[in-house]
Amino acid sequence: MSSGHEAAFWADEEVKLLQPGRPHVVRDSKTPSGAVPISGLRGPIISDALFRTFKANALDVRFVYTIDDYDPMDSQSMKERAGMAEHMGKPLYMIPSPDPSVGTDFADYHATRFIALFAGLGITPEFHRMRDLYRSGALDKQIDLVLRNAETIRAIHKRVANVDHPEGWLPIAVICENCGRIGTTLATDYDGTTVAYECRRDYVEWAEGCGHVGRVAPFGGTAKLLWNEQWCAQWDHFGVTYEEGGKDLLTAGGSRERSNEIYREVWKREPPPGLQHEFFTFGGKKMASSKGIGAEGVRPRRGCVSRGRGERPREDLAPLPGLTNARPAGVPHSLHDGRELAPDPQHQARG
């Protein structure tokens, strides 16, 4: 039986979502905040399978992969490591590299190690680093749009996810000019050119700000959009027309739904469609992303992946070596031994 032929089936279904005769962009991303568990490969493998299928169906398509290296270091497990406490809240690209022979900084080190796995899998997207996008001013137009619509966005966060942001809140994080942290600043009062910000000591639990108060033009790399708004900005910048995602992001009130609503209301455009992928299991147990086996510790090969939209996973398909997707229908998202699945660390504290 040709598993390859059957494996194309689910991706073929997705082709119908894309309008022929216009350019298409499939996007995926990674936050290089530490060693990536093997489950971190599910997204690139699925996105690549979709990209290949779209191409095989004569669609004009690009595969864009962004490295989210402007994100703050917010990992609790990192905080406990020697020398890391002082770097909590800094952008990942501002933290020293564990091994300068591998990568120039912390983000580059982990991104390089993760991306090195792609070639062996035949995955060759266009890579884009957020530091380059922000510093070049490529996202300035989107930053201005978000800031001018901050009140609308604040209402969407409240309506869709029941998250309360303070009045005057702006969905942007300024890099503190005093201490260099980006995760500790609260920005307010956009006047069309600059924003006010305060680096708060108690703004987040995982890092302590320095108390600095200032005003800065939030363009050209001095600030980054918050998670949901940055997502929309990338859809707009790259012209993304398809983006799949894990179920942890696609739940009601979840991160994707928030971004979808922001894209509709602020950009006045329909967000890209994208299927939900199931969590991989390993040796019969669901892999909690935060506890999984390091992706660098294995030598993965291309295989077939299956997905779920609530239907029974395709157990007839050949799994990736060592990976299966055998969660029977109806089994809740928890480990077989009853422990809850830990959220993907990439998506914690991004709401």
Interface positions with Zn ion (CB under 5 A): 176, 178-179, 199, 209-210, 212
Task: Tell me whether residue 71 or residue 244 sits nearer to Zn ion (CB atom).
Answer: 71
Task: Tell me whether residue 210 or residue 293 sits nearer to Zn ion (CB atom).
Answer: 210
Task: Tell me whether residue 179 or residue 287 sits nearer to Zn ion (CB atom).
Answer: 179
User: Cβ-count burial of 347 within 10 angstroms (0-12 exposed, 13-18 middle, 19+ buried)?
Assistant: middle
Q: Which residue type, as a one-letter code, is found at position 222?
A: T
Task: Tell me whether residue 79 or residue 264 sits nearer to Zn ion (CB atom).
Answer: 79
Give the closest residue to 87 by CA, choosing from 71, 77, 99, 74.
74
Q: Where are the alpha helices (DSSP H) in the chain?
A: 3-15, 42-56, 76-79, 106-120, 130-135, 140-148, 150-161, 227-238, 247-250, 255-262
- Tell me if 95 sits within 8 A of 81, measured CB to CB: no
Token couple for 220: 């050209």
Task: Tell me whether residue 72 or residue 313 sits nearer to Zn ion (CB atom).
Answer: 72
- At 188 the three-state DSSP class reads strand
| Tokens 């942890």 sit on residue | 248
First-to-last alpha carbon distance for the chain, in angstroms, is 44
Task: Tell me whether residue 123 or residue 186 sits nearer to Zn ion (CB atom).
Answer: 186
- Tell me if 169 sits within 8 A of 189, measured CB to CB: no
Q: Shortest gap between Cβ of 127 and Zn ion (angstroms)?
A: 30
User: Cβ-count burial of 311 within 10 angstroms (0-12 exposed, 13-18 middle, 19+ buried)?
Assistant: exposed
Q: Shortest gap between Cβ of 46 and Zn ion (angstroms)?
A: 39
Give the closest residue to 65 by CA, choosing from 41, 51, 44, 46.
44
Q: Shortest gap between Cβ of 180 and Zn ion (angstroms)?
A: 7
Q: What's the CA gap between 224 and 91, in Å, rounded?
A: 10
Task: Tell me whether residue 37 or residue 221 sits nearer to Zn ion (CB atom).
Answer: 221
Q: Shortest gap between Cβ of 79 and Zn ion (angstroms)?
A: 17
Q: Shortest gap between Cβ of 200 and Zn ion (angstroms)?
A: 9
Task: Tell me whether residue 212 or residue 264 sits nearer to Zn ion (CB atom).
Answer: 212
Task: Tell me whether residue 199 or residue 304 sits nearer to Zn ion (CB atom).
Answer: 199
Q: Shortest gap between Cβ of 189 and Zn ion (angstroms)?
A: 18
- Tell me if 277 sits within 8 A of 307, measured CB to CB: yes
Q: Shortest gap between Cβ of 199 and Zn ion (angstroms)?
A: 3
Q: Shortest gap between Cβ of 208 and Zn ion (angstroms)?
A: 9
Q: Shortest gap between Cβ of 165 and Zn ion (angstroms)?
A: 20
Contacts of 281 (CB under 8 A, 6+ apart): 287, 323, 324, 325, 326, 327
Q: What's the CA gap between 159 and 216, in Å, rounded?
A: 30
